[in-house]
Amino acid sequence: QKVSVEVLDHLEHLALVDFRDSEGVERLQKAIEFADQLHEVNTDGVEPMDSVLEDRCLYLREDDVTEGNCTKELLENAREKVEEYFVAPPGNIPLPKMDEQETFLKGS
Amino acid sequence: LAPWIPVVGLEIHAQISSNSKLFSGSQVQFAAPPNSLVSFFDASLPGTLPVLNRRCVEAAVMTGLALNCSINKKSLFDRKHYFYADLPAGYQITQQRVPIAVNGSLSYSLCIDNKMSQMVTKTVRIKQIQLEQDSGKSLHDDTRSQTLVDLNRAGVGLMEVVMEPDMCCGEEAAAAVRELQLILQTLGSSQAVMAEGQLRVDANVSVHHPGEPYGVRTEVKNINSIRFLAKAVDYEIQRQIEELENGGTILNETRAFDSKLGCTVPMRDKEGKQDYRFMPEPNLPPLILYDAKSLPANMNHQQVINIDWIHERLPDLPSVKREKLVEQYGILPEHSFTLLNEDGLAEFFESVTKQTQMKPKKVIGWILNDLLSYLKQHSLTVKESPVSSFLLADLLNLLEKKEISSTAAKQVLAELWKGEGKTPLEIVKEQKLELLQDQKELEQICQAVIDGQENE
C-alpha cells in the first residue's frame, strides 16, 4: 500500500518537511511498513501505554515566581526586534499549493 | 415558514489566578514591559522542560467541583500542534484525551420579558474542564506589514470550560457566562475580568428545523464583553436563518464579531480545516489526584492533591449566598441577584443592616434604588462610594426614629453624596429638616399660614 501524493503533500504542509526526492519518499514508505508490524500483536483489552513515564510521579511545583526578567537575553536570539517585541511576518505565510511549488511531488 | 431552533454552545477560556505560570516560574501579570515575564521555557528554547504548578491544578479541581463535575483522578497532557508567531514551541500543551474534570452542570437564571420579578432557572451541561497553556500576544502592525510578539502571556495557565449546546439565544449564553464569572470570582480560581482577557468566550452557533438534524455550525470569536456575547450570538442566529431562508448554505467556518458594526465576519488566516496532530506530551507523566480514601500514607504532603480536602474548603457559591440572603433578611430572590451582581454590594447591605434598626426589607429599597442608581449614574463601584455603610445606617436610623420624613431623608442623602464629611444629623440641622412632633408648635405654624392667607 503506497502512501498517496495527497497525503505526502499534506504532511509537507503540516510538518514543514520536504521529501525532496524518491529516496525520501521510499524511506518514509519503509518506516511505515516497519511500524505496521505492530498491528500483528493482539492488543484486545490492553490499556495503551503512551509514555514510559506512566508510573513516574508528576512533580508539582510551588506557585512561586522564580524566573523571568531576562528580556535582553531572550531578544539576543531575535533576528529583528522593535522596542523589545519580537518581529514576525504579518500572518502565517502558507506554503504554496502543490501545483505552485517547486516540489518533487509535482511529478508524481 | 417552519420555525427555526437555534443551538448555542460555548468554549470559555478562564485565566487561572496564580503567581506563576502553568509550567514555568515566570510571573503572571497583566500589564508589564514586553517580554519581561518570560522564562527560557516560555520562549521554547531548547533543553527546557515543563514543570506543573500545583496551584493551577487546585484551581481546576475547585472549579470542577463547583460545577458539579466528576474529577478524573488520572488525567493526561497532550500536545496540540499548529504554527503561529505567538506560539513559540509550535504546539500548545493541553488535555485533549483525558481532561481533569468532566460531566458537570451550571445553573443560571433569566428574567422573563425583562421583568425582574419573573425569574426562571436553566441548566447547561458542562462537557469538560481542561488545563492548558495560554499563547503569547500578537500586535498587528499593518502599516509596516509585520506582527510584534510579546510572550508575557505565553504559558499562563488556562482552564477551558466547554459548555454543551444547551442554550438557544444570546440572553441565555450571556446569563450562563455571567454566572460562571461570579462562581470563578467567588472561588478565586480566576479573576475572570473579560476586559483584561482573563475570560474569553467563543460561541458555536447553528440553526435547524424541529425534528431535523443539527445544522452546520460556525464558531464566533473576538467577543470582548458579556453584552457583546449576547449581540454576537443573536446576530449570528439571524444571519444563518436569513442565509438558509434565501436558499444559501452555512459554511463550517470561524467568524469574528465586529463590535463596531454589530455583525460577524469571516476570519482571515484560516487555511481550511486544521490538523492538530495531537500526541501525548512526552515530558509529563499522568496527573494523579487523590481523595480521603486513596490518600497514600508515606508521600510528601506538598506532592499530594486531595480532592476531598479541597471540597471541604469550597466557599459558598453565588446560588447558596443568594438563598441565605433571602432567608436571613426576607428580601426577594430578584433582590439577591442584584446584590450579588455588583461587587461589594451584598457586603454593604449586610453592614448597613447590622448598624440600623430599620428592617432589612426596607433597607434593601435604599440600597437598590437610591445607592445603586447613584453609583451607576456616576460610574462608581461600591468601594468608591462617597457614602459609607456607617453614614447610610445613621441616616436610616433618623428616618426609622421618625426624626425626619422619607422625603427629607432623600434630601439628606443627596447632600451626603457630595462627600463633604458632614454627618446626616448635621445636614438635617443645617437644612432644618427635622420633623416637628410638638403639637403646639404645629398649630402656631398653621395659624400663621392661615393668617397670612387672610391678609391677601
Task: Indicate the helix (H) or strand (E) that contains B176.
Answer: helix B170-187
Residues 251-270 of B with CB under 8 A from A: 268-269
- Across B108-128, average pLDDT: 85
Residue with cell string 478565586: B188
Q: Which of residues B433 and B164 earns the better pLDDT score?
A: B164
Chain B contact for A93 (CB, 8 A cutoff) = no
Could you say which of B145, B271, B286 has the minimum Cβ distance to residue A54? B286
Could you say which of A54, A55, A85 has the minimum Cβ distance to residue B148? A85
The closest alpha carbon to B54, from B18, B27, B26, belongs to B18
What are the CA-CA distances from residue B185 to residues B62, B179, B327 (Å)? 12, 10, 23
Chain A contact for B415 (CB, 8 A cutoff) = no
Longest dimension (CA), chain A: 59
Residue B85, SS3 per DSSP: coil
Residue A62, SS3 per DSSP: coil
Contact B271 A94 (CB under 8 A): yes
ipTM confidence:
0.84
Band the pLDDT of B419: cuts 50, 70, 90. Answer: confident
Could you say which of B26, B84, B148 has the minimum Cβ distance to residue A68? B26
Residue with cell string 500586535: B139
For B97, the closest chain A residue by CA position comes to A50
How much of chain B, in percent, has pLDDT values that exceed 70?
A: 97
Contact B85 A88 (CB under 8 A): yes
Q: What is the pLDDT of residue B268?
A: 61
Decide: pTM greater than 0.95.
no
Q: What is the pLDDT of residue B267?
A: 83
Chain B contact for A69 (CB, 8 A cutoff) = yes
Q: How far apart are CA B303 and CA A60, in angstroms?
A: 6
CB-count exposure of residue B52 (10 Å: 0-12, 13-18, 19+): buried
Q: What is the pLDDT of residue B95?
A: 98
Chain A contact for B26 (CB, 8 A cutoff) = yes
**Which sequence spans correspond to the domains of chain A?**
1-40
Q: What is the pLDDT of residues B279-334, one digit of tens each?
A: 999 999 999 999 999 998 888 889 999 999 999 999 999 999 999 999 999 999 88
Chain B contact for A85 (CB, 8 A cutoff) = yes
Residue with cell string 519503509: A30
Question: Distance between alpha carbon B60 and the CA centroid of its chain, in Å?
Answer: 16
Chain B residues whose beta carbon lies within 8 Å of the beta carbon of residue A49: none
Say which amino acid occupies B327: E
Which grid coordinates belong to A66?
A: 522564580
Residues 36-55 of A with CB under 8 A from B: 50-51, 53-55
Chain A contact for B272 (CB, 8 A cutoff) = no
Chain A contact for B147 (CB, 8 A cutoff) = yes
What are the CA-CA distances from residue B83 to residues A68, A80, B334, B336, B437 (Å)? 24, 19, 48, 47, 80
Q: Which of residues B377 and A15 earns the better pLDDT score?
A: B377
Interface test with B, best of A17, A49, A56, A86 (most B CBs within 10 A): A86
Tell me chain A's radius of gyration from C-alpha atoms: 22
Segment B426-431 long-range contacts (CB within 8 Å, at least 24 positions apart): B428/B398, B428/B403, B428/B404
Whether residue B313 contacts residue B351, with contact meaning beta carbons closer than 8 Å, is answered with no
Q: How far apart are CA B285 and CA B290, in angstroms?
A: 16
Contact A53 B284 (CB under 8 A): yes
Q: Which of residues A98 and B377 earns the better pLDDT score?
A: B377
The closest alpha carbon to B307, from B292, B287, B297, belongs to B292
What are the CA-CA distances from residue B84 to residues A91, B88, B136, B157, B390 (Å)? 8, 8, 10, 19, 55
Interface test with A, best of B16, B20, B277 (most A CBs within 10 A): B20
Residues sharing a CB contact under 8 Å with residue B4, sequence separation 6 or more, in sequence order: B207, B208, B209, B237, B241, B244
Band the pLDDT of A107: cuts 50, 70, 90. Answer: low
- Across B112-123, average pLDDT: 79
Return the minimum-mean-pLDDT range out of A22-26, B42-46, B235-239: A22-26
- Measure in Å the smallest separation between the Cα of A7 and chain B Cα atoms: 12
Interface test with A, best of B28, B143, B148 (most A CBs within 10 A): B148
Contact A63 B18 (CB under 8 A): yes
Chain A residues whose beta carbon lies within 8 Å of the beta carbon of residue B141: 90
Cβ atoms within 10 Å, residue B302: 10
Q: How far apart are CA B58 and CA B42, in angstroms?
A: 22
Q: What is the pLDDT of residue B164?
A: 97
Chain A residues whose beta carbon lies within 8 Å of the beta carbon of residue B268: 91
For residue B417, the number of C-alpha atoms closer than 13 Å in the C-beta half-sphere is 16
Say which amino acid occupies B162: V
Q: Which of residues B278 and A107 earns the better pLDDT score?
A: B278
Q: Which residues pair with A87 in a beta bridge?
A: B148
Q: How far apart are CA B13 and CA B28, in angstroms?
A: 16
The closest alpha carbon to B159, from B135, B133, B182, B126, belongs to B133
* Mean pLDDT value across chain B: 92
Q: What is the pLDDT of residues B174-233, one digit of tens each?
A: 999 999 999 999 999 999 999 999 999 999 999 999 999 999 999 999 999 999 999 999
Is the pLDDT at B273 greater than 80? The verdict is no
Q: Where are the alpha helices (DSSP H) in B247-382?
A: 307-312, 318-329, 333-341, 345-355, 360-365, 372-377
Q: How far apart are CA B432 and CA B280, in angstroms?
A: 77
Q: How far apart are CA B199 and CA B35, in angstroms?
A: 22
Residue with cell string 528580556: A71
Whether residue B281 contacts residue B267, with contact meaning beta carbons closer than 8 Å, is answered with no
Beta strands B52-53 and A60-61, pairing class: parallel
The closest alpha carbon to B147, from B219, B87, B80, B223, belongs to B87
Say which amino acid occupies B87: L
Which grid coordinates belong to A68?
A: 523571568
Q: How far apart are CA A71 and CA B85, in angstroms?
A: 17
Contact A53 B84 (CB under 8 A): no
Chain A contact for B39 (CB, 8 A cutoff) = yes
Q: What is the pLDDT of residue B116?
A: 63
